Structure 1
Amino acid sequence: MQEGRGLTGRRGFALLVGGVAGGAVALVVSRMPLDTHEEWDVGLLIWLLAGGQLLLSHRWRPRRRARLVWRARVAGRYGVEAGLVARRSLVEWAQLGSSVAVPTVLAFGLLARLPDHEWSELVRSLVALGIGVFVGKVAYGVARFTGALALTASGVRQGRQHVPWPSIRETVLRRSSGRVDGVYLRTMPSQAGTAGNPNGGHPGRTPTAEAPSGGAHGRAVPVTRTVGGRAVAVPDERLLAAIEHYRTRPDALAVGLPVDAPEPAGGSPVKKGPLLYRRR
């Protein structure tokens, strides 16, 4: 895969989506009324948003039963490849929605307390511009990549985070408050090029040090990354089984033919006890 190959159209599409979303929100904010705090209970709206954010952050955990789906064209960080894709979960979509709603309501609360003067118009325009840029950036990030997470021949990608297969030394389920919440990938950055590519699986990319090389002995320092979790609709047990299966045979994802994601041991997406894989 050549860096940037096939991404021009995707980046253009993402810019269009980001521009439309950011422009629409900026237009709404720019037309919000001034000096209306006596007509609206802004404090109540802010408290309701804060409660909703708390619920999304800690309490709401809908069941995740989706599967990794084969896609012939997966837009990643460095190019377009074939691979398996996990869609976003309901929690992730709700959090994306709240990332738009929260600044919009806060802007409404701020503008409602400003007097109806000329300088307030300038403040409103600046607030609208700032929120529009923020929302546009969020929308661009959603449209820029295919799905929430993808397994391709070059590695594991979630959002802008990309982990090459050769660097993954150990995989284990992450647990938080007694619940499975993501997959830990223990990586050795200095060994990312041991599969015949010194650039970590990305031809034409300048190698970068992702972690210090480990003191006077020159030993690589392991880095733990987390993928999956509530943002992904695929259960973490199923995701772990797929990562472990393809990290020793990533070329199977590059042939261009549909492949299936393996199921966890026992054929169930839920497995009791710690689930741990190590590269021997």
Structure 2
Amino acid sequence: MLTYRERMRTMGVTSPPEIGPAAFRRIVGSSVADVGCGSGVFGFMLRSAWYLTGAWIDEGIAKPDRLIGVDFSPVAIANVKRHAIYDDPRLADATRLPLSDGEVDTALSMENIEHLFPAEIPGALAELCRVSRRRVVVTTPAPWRVIHHPWVRVELASIDTANAPMARTEFLVRSGQVHKSVLFPHQMRAAGFEFRTFMRSPMITADSIIYWADVDAIRLDRLGEVLGTSVSAYPEHDSRPHWDEAYRELLASTLDIPLSRRQPIRTTLAEVGRALKVAVRPHT
């Protein structure tokens, strides 16, 4: 797992590209901000497969006027600049987007929001709403797939066998890839979003969920509590010399994310079943 983390540090985050076309269908207008763009996989796909977007299919917009890529990782932004994936790549945090109000037609965030701490998610969603004129599109792993317990345990074991203390920069890279929060279909629907599931395989209930809504339909005050890690974001001025224990604490906390405290997972499965028009009988 450390090898995987090293690869992510040098190239940025790569999410399953198969979800791209399904999410692109919800894009409207000619300008898009890809927030949490990572290595630029979805930006590259969006530019080369614009014909899959709702903008092309429903509105007849032949090509994007402007694609903006935003990520908090300097490595990721350097990568997308090198490959000229976006017209306007920007280094920024998802909770403080360097865009003006209504600057783009669609604010897109794919497989990104689960990496934020629970307290950050309402602000990040509010920023997507602020910078979009028309629509917000968000994809995130299905609740029962947010935390991949086997790799978390492997990663925890790797901390104990590491040869050198973890520096802050290393901690920021590694902790940035950890899934820390969960969004449920019922709470996103309450906030005004429609949703559909995405499956790479018919043997898997759902890999990710695609949420979308027109900006004027979104009511974030109805989102409710966001579940996730009990660990809070570490302040920028934290000057501890070694970060091994902080990383261990964060990883361990993900194993205890209370997925059933507000909404039993069986209820969420039933919601997804209705979205798929497939009868799912919750276990009792």
TM range (shorter): under 0.3
From the CA coordinates, give the structure whose radius of gyration is larger: 1
Q: TM-score, normalised by structure 1?
A: 0.25
